[in-house]
Structure 1
Amino acid sequence: MLSIAAVVTVLMTINLLWNIHQYSLQAEEEMREKAAVVARQLIATRSVIALRQDNINSDSQGHYEFKHLNPAAVGKEVGDFFNQSSGYKIKQTRFSVRAPENTPDSFEIEKMKVLAANSDLPAVWGYDVHGGEKVFRYFSPLYYDESCMPCHGKPAGGKDISGNLKEGFTAGDFAGAISIIVPMTAYETNQRSYIMNQLLFIVFMVLAIIGLIYILMEHIVIMPIQELTAKVTSIGDGQLETKLVDIHTYDEMKSFVEAFNTMADKIQHFYSELEQKVNERTYLLQEANVQLLEQGAALRAMNDKLSQADQLKSEFLAVMSHELRTPLTAIIAFSEILLYEENLSSQQREYLVDIFESSHQLLSQINDILDMSKIEAGLIRLDRRPTDIREIVDGIARIISPLLLKKNLQFHINISSAVPIIMADYDKVSHIIKNLIGNAVKFTPAQGSISIEAEVIHQKQESYLKIAVKDTGIGIREEEQSSIFEKFKQAGSPSEREYMGSGLGLALAHNFVQLHGGQIRVESKVGKGSIFTFTLPIVGTGGYIC
């Protein structure tokens, strides 16, 4: 309603402004026409007087006697009489006047200049304030003709019949103007009355439109919507049988009411079906709940058995690892003693070396299994103490030097001078590095190279030691890189594996790194080598159970 009222008000205001403009143009045209008529009448009077000068100034015997009834004098008297009866002010003026009362004002001088410069103009007009009131001023030009020459012609300076000096003009020269002042009081009063009537009409129309729109909206939209709101609330409160039966409306609202009743019927129907389905689902859920309880009890029993089995497995692994280590230690010791015998054939020495190396490999795998079982049982304890990475790397380098020579591998150590002593478990850090370097030696073909690098990095306001083991070995396929740190996982299918092992080395390394609070990852491309990188906190707390 406000929008419509605003639009109507704007449109009617525009119409009012246009009408006021047209009214002003019409009023100006009317005043101009009236002033033009008065000016033409006065000019006609002057012309008659000018043409009848001989008759006016001669008596019955034909004697010449000047009667002072020349055009200027008669025009002034006519103007004075007309001014008294009409409210107009008529004045004959020119640039140089003979009578002081005809002296032009500034507005008249400005308009006469325009007329003098444009002889084709029939008249000029404009608005001015005269005597404190707004007036319309009209100027009709005057030109000298032959009848004017006796008084205004040549010779200049000579006296005319009235005793005034002649100006020396010729026929056709600009002689001045008839100045007419038309009061605008009546026009302004009428205009104000017109504007007031139009404003009252606009206000009446706006109020009438608002009232009509309100009545229509009240009966066609608002009341049906209020009733609809009440019915919707009833449906929301659970009264699904609610319908709109008493609403009388038209057009789109009628269609809307019919659609609402249809919706209410469907909701009631759906609700009835929903209740039935809910009851059915409730019964099924109760049965399913009973089955879940039974299955839960079975799962808990199975879980207990699995826990017992896992515990038995761990105990079995620990016992068997311990029991296997004892004879292996004896085999390794006796093999080493026999290797010192000098009376051995080359074949006997080769067999003893195989026994010695195989026993060491088996002992290492048994130790890995034992460590993994301890980790799963939560029995691993970190013994943090000052640890020098250089010392660990140098020791491992001495151990693997025979293997490096055997495969003709290059081994580079690049440890930054900024690497400090860290707080870590010496044995477990040694195991991590030894495992990574051992894998690099194992999977790098002859003539290849292996390197180990160490540097200090800073992450999240903490300092870490970053260690990277790089090789030019066979590499690891991308789809297998995410699983190589899992237990008993090895890259490649069993039929493709050329390098056998237990699959626990990287899993143990991964667990030892995590126990220290670090991370380990791998980057590798098949045929180009691998890079294993892990981080260790430089400063750690005391040992703890994991």
Structure 2
Amino acid sequence: MLSIAAVVTVLMTINLLWNIHQYSIQAEEEMREKAAVVARQLIATRSVIALRQDNINSDSQGHYEFKHLNPAAVGKEVGDFFNQSSGYKIKQTRFSVRAPENTPDSFEIEKMKVLAANSDLPAVWGYDVHGGEKVFRYFSPLYYDESCMPCHGKPAGGKDISGNLKEGFTAGDFAGAISIIVPMTTYETNQRSYIMNQLLFIVFMVLAIIGLIYILMEHIVIMPIQELTAKVTSIGDGQLETKLVDIHTYDEMKSFVEAFNTMADKIQHFYSELEQKVNERTHLLQEANVQLLEQGAALRAMNDKLSQADQLKSEFLAVMSHELRTPLTAIIAFSEILLYEENLSSQQRDYLEDIFESSHQLLSQINDILDISKIEAGLIMLDMQPTDIREIVDNIARIISPLLLKKNLQFHSNISSAVPMIMADYDKVSHIIKNLIGNAVKFTPSNGSISIEAEVIHQKQEPYLKIAVKDTGIGIREEEQSSIFEKFKQAGSPSEREYMGSGLGLALAHNFVQLHGGQIKVESKVGKGSIFTFTLPIVGTGGYICSKKKF
């Protein structure tokens, strides 16, 4: 009953709102038509006065005498008389008025601007609050014609017959508007009366529907259900042989009784077979448990083999990385010695610088691989010591300053003196910040900017240092942001990747941050730049990171 009443109420309320909307549209149309008629009558009066100026200002002997009955003056007097008898307010106004009482208000200025900008508009209208009451306002445009030129035409600055200065307008120029204010008191009173009548009708309909539904439900549903309840309760107590008979119901409830009897028969049948099926399922479950135990043992053996293979891989990478660093160190050293030679040609020096820089890059990548291998093997432990973030940032800024100058990048360090020292591994924190700033330099085009900020925050009632590296680089697509901290992952496909690398830098930074007990994340938009943020505990909690081993 409540649901049906709610539906009826909603539907009738929607109908009421629709009728109110239509009533408002109709009322607005009526007010607009009335205002338009008044405006057209006033414009017609002005036109007649303008055309009869020679007759008005001449006496019976044909002598010219200005009677001060020009269109504006007559229009004002007509409007004043009309206002007194109708409750309307009519005013002739324009941007620059001669009579102060015709000065436009802000609403009139706004509407005249619309009319002046759109000469095809026959009128504009809207709602406003005037004198503390809501009113309908209508504006009909006025344009200068030839009959207006003696008083408003050229030359600008000359005096017309009434002694006012001419404005220098030409025929067809926008002259102002007839402003009409229509009171809405009667409309609002009628609307409130209409709404109250409709609300009373809705309440009456809802109460009538609820009463009718209650009477029908009492005789058709409730009384038969009360008779059925006792029988259903006995079935619920386990008396499955109980049947629903000798119950007087209507067609719908009779179908329910028949369906319930059928259900009771099926329940008895199902119950008789249940124990046999339970025994069968129990036997199958025991067999399945034996198979699961066997499969579990096989999986454990396979997992041990995989762990051994992963350990061998990590040890192999660590050994190979170590062996590769020795010849690379020699290449770097010999390249640096040769660069000090003075008798090198420019081409030879360029080649040596390429060898020197490429060797450093390769050595850095090998070191990353070695660190990753050590992390996976569980061989890295933090060397906790008091660490000054400002010192680390200053050192990195000095190292990258030539590259910043080469790419014309702005670098800002916004770390206040209030940021405290933290207990952390100095080298690991340096590696994290150097990697993030290095990536920002790599992926930020020329004339861009890079900044680093630090502040103290609290997570789970513990103090943390939050560090953010921001750039105006190329950005990272949203679907790639979740995987950039994985090993050997880089944003973009290989065919469209302009900036090459091993893909280990961010993975190492992620591991080093986790090793300290912090978190790292990225926020980025393609073409707008990226913000890499990580946190470190101010009081260090260093430990091991184990990929697939437990210590």
TM-score of the superposed pair, with normalisation by structure 2: 0.53
Cα 1:110–1:415 change in 2 (3 A) is closer
| More deviation, 334-343/456-465 | 456-465
**Counterpart contact for 1:389–1:421, Cα < 8 Å:** yes
Cα 1:348–1:214 change in 2 (3 A) is closer
Q: How does 1:223-302 map to 2 (within 5 A)?
A: 240=240, 262-275=262-275, 277-278=277-278, 281-282=281-282, 284-302=284-302
Cα 1:277–1:194 change in 2 (3 A) is closer
> % of aligned pairs identical?
97
* CA–CA distance in structure 2, aligned partners of residues 503 and 237 of structure 1: 69
**Counterpart contact for 1:383–1:543, Cα < 8 Å:** no
Cα 1:275–1:328 change in 2 (3 A) is same
| More deviation, 18-27/35-44 | 35-44
Cα 1:425–1:234 change in 2 (3 A) is same
Q: How far did residue 516 of structure 1 move? A: 1.6
Which residue of 1 is the match for residue 549 of structure 2? none
| More deviation, 109-118/483-492 | 109-118
Q: How far did residue 11 of structure 1 move? A: 39
Which residue of 2 is the match for residue 358 of structure 1? 358
| More deviation, 341-350/276-285 | 276-285
* CA–CA distance in structure 1, aligned partners of residues 172 and 109 of structure 2: 20
Cα 1:166–1:268 change in 2 (3 A) is closer
1:272 aligned counterpart, secondary structure: helix
Q: Give CA deviations for 1:3-39 in whole Å, capped at 9, x if unaligned.
A: 9999999999999999999999999999999999999
Cα 1:224–1:164 change in 2 (3 A) is same
| More deviation, 493-502/218-227 | 218-227
Q: How far did residue 272 of structure 1 move? A: 3.9
Q: How far did residue 514 of structure 1 move? A: 1.8
| More deviation, 74-83/419-428 | 74-83
1:175 aligned counterpart, secondary structure: strand
* CA–CA distance in structure 1, aligned partners of residues 99 and 393 of structure 2: 132
Structure having the higher Rg: 1
Cα 1:222–1:336 change in 2 (3 A) is closer
Q: Give CA deviations for 1:209-260 in whole Å, capped at 9, x if unaligned.
A: 9999999999999999999999989867877556689999999999998776
Cα 1:333–1:97 change in 2 (3 A) is closer
| More deviation, 144-153/439-448 | 144-153
* CA–CA distance in structure 2, aligned partners of residues 462 and 101 of structure 1: 72
Q: Give CA deviations for 1:501-540 in whole Å, capped at 9, x if unaligned.
A: 1111111111111222222111111111111111222222
* CA–CA distance in structure 2, aligned partners of residues 245 and 461 of structure 1: 69
Cα 1:218–1:63 change in 2 (3 A) is same
Cα 1:45–1:257 change in 2 (3 A) is same
Long gaps (5+) in structure 1: none
Q: How far did residue 454 of structure 1 move? A: 1.9
Cα 1:462–1:238 change in 2 (3 A) is same
| More deviation, 23-32/169-178 | 169-178
* CA–CA distance in structure 2, aligned partners of residues 15 and 142 of structure 1: 42
**Counterpart contact for 1:384–1:424, Cα < 8 Å:** yes
Cα 1:505–1:51 change in 2 (3 A) is closer
Q: How far did residue 270 of structure 1 move? A: 2.2
Cα 1:283–1:231 change in 2 (3 A) is farther
**Counterpart contact for 1:53–1:70, Cα < 8 Å:** yes
Q: How far did residue 396 of structure 1 move? A: 0.6
| More deviation, 112-121/62-71 | 62-71
Q: How far did residue 293 of structure 1 move? A: 3.6
**Counterpart contact for 1:410–1:447, Cα < 8 Å:** yes
Q: How far did residue 434 of structure 1 move? A: 0.1
| More deviation, 408-417/207-216 | 207-216
**Counterpart contact for 1:477–1:525, Cα < 8 Å:** yes
Q: How far did residue 54 of structure 1 move? A: 112
| More deviation, 133-142/3-12 | 133-142
| More deviation, 116-125/536-545 | 116-125
1:453 aligned counterpart, secondary structure: strand
Q: Give CA deviations for 1:153-182 in whole Å, capped at 9, x if unaligned.
A: 999999999999999999999999999999
1:343 aligned counterpart, secondary structure: coil
Long gaps (5+) in structure 2: 547-551
TM-score of the superposed pair, with normalisation by structure 1: 0.53
Cα 1:275–1:392 change in 2 (3 A) is same
2:508 aligned counterpart, secondary structure: helix
Q: How far did residue 359 of structure 1 move? A: 1.3
Cα 1:30–1:270 change in 2 (3 A) is closer
Q: How far did residue 444 of structure 1 move? A: 0.8
Cα 1:344–1:256 change in 2 (3 A) is closer
* CA–CA distance in structure 1, aligned partners of residues 98 and 496 of structure 2: 136
2:177 aligned counterpart, secondary structure: strand
1:115 aligned counterpart, secondary structure: helix
1:279 aligned counterpart, secondary structure: helix
**Counterpart contact for 2:517–2:542, Cα < 8 Å:** no
Q: Give CA deviations for 1:99-120 in whole Å, capped at 9, x if unaligned.
A: 9999999999999999999999
| More deviation, 147-156/365-374 | 147-156
* CA–CA distance in structure 2, aligned partners of residues 5 and 108 of structure 1: 49
Q: How far did residue 443 of structure 1 move? A: 0.4
Cα 1:7–1:436 change in 2 (3 A) is closer
Q: How far did residue 341 of structure 1 move? A: 2.1
Report how many aligned residue pairs link the two structures: 546
1:140 aligned counterpart, secondary structure: strand
| More deviation, 336-345/431-440 | 336-345
Q: How far did residue 346 of structure 1 move? A: 2.2
Q: How does 1:502-517 map to 2 (within 5 A)?
A: 502-517=502-517
Cα 1:343–1:234 change in 2 (3 A) is same
Cα 1:247–1:66 change in 2 (3 A) is farther
1:473 aligned counterpart, secondary structure: coil
* CA–CA distance in structure 1, aligned partners of residues 445 and 69 of structure 2: 144
Q: Give CA deviations for 1:324-381 in whole Å, capped at 9, x if unaligned.
A: 1122112212222222222322222222212211111111111111111222222221
When the two chains are superposed, the root-mean-square deviation of aligned CA atoms in Å is: 26.0
* CA–CA distance in structure 2, aligned partners of residues 447 and 155 of structure 1: 59
**Counterpart contact for 1:384–1:543, Cα < 8 Å:** no
Q: How far did residue 463 of structure 1 move? A: 2.4
Cα 1:448–1:193 change in 2 (3 A) is closer
| More deviation, 277-286/371-380 | 277-286
| More deviation, 178-187/408-417 | 178-187
